[in-house]
Amino acid sequence: MFAILHFPGLRPYVEGPYPRLTPFDEIDSLRDNWWFENVSGNVARPIDSPQAAVGFPDFLSAAEKQSASVENGELSALGPASQYLPRVVIDWGKKHPHDPRVPEALYLAIRAVRYGSSNEWNHEAFLLLHQNYPNSEWAKKTPYWFK
């Protein structure tokens, strides 16, 4: 999770014909960061659809396609990155409050929401950062949270 937060170009699927243009490790100011929508919207969509994505290759067996469909369902359950990332970081931060990476991870999770879509986890991440690590450089870099 820590690595994913550092690389806004990461996505759990292969991009279609119009890939992200911003460098892999930089925030895209137009919110083309991590995965913005439900992941299943980008996986195994027919190639001739208006928003074509990579479909199943012909060489996959029926069992492999079924396995991929199950994995796609699991990825889809994660939701958008801006909801998934803060939720995981908050849980990790509560379980491991002495881990020195927690303040930075909270900062990065809040940033993910800022450049993604807002949600209820953002305020909780902000409170955890400022209540547990008020003097950290990461709390100082995060004076606001975003609805």
The CA-based dihedral angle spanning residues 46, 47, 53, 56, taken in that order and rounded to the nearest 10 degrees: 70
pLDDT digits (tens, 9 = 90+) for 65-107: 889 888 878 888 888 888 889 999 999 999 999 999 999 999 9
CA dist 112 and 82 (Å) reads: 6
Evaluate if pTM is beyond 0.75: yes
What is the model's pLDDT at position 116? Answer: 67
What are the phi and psi torsion angles at 43 (to 5°)? -120, 135
Residue 144 lies in a domain: yes
Q: How many domains does the chain have?
A: 1
**What is the total residue count of the chain?**
147
Which structural domain range is residue 117 located in? 1-36+80-147
Say if CB 32 and CB 58 are below 8 A apart. Answer: no
Q: Tell me the average pLDDT of the chain.
A: 83
Residue 94 lies in a domain: yes
pLDDT digits (tens, 9 = 90+) for 21-30: 899 999 888 8
Residue 117 CB-half CA count within 13 A: 9
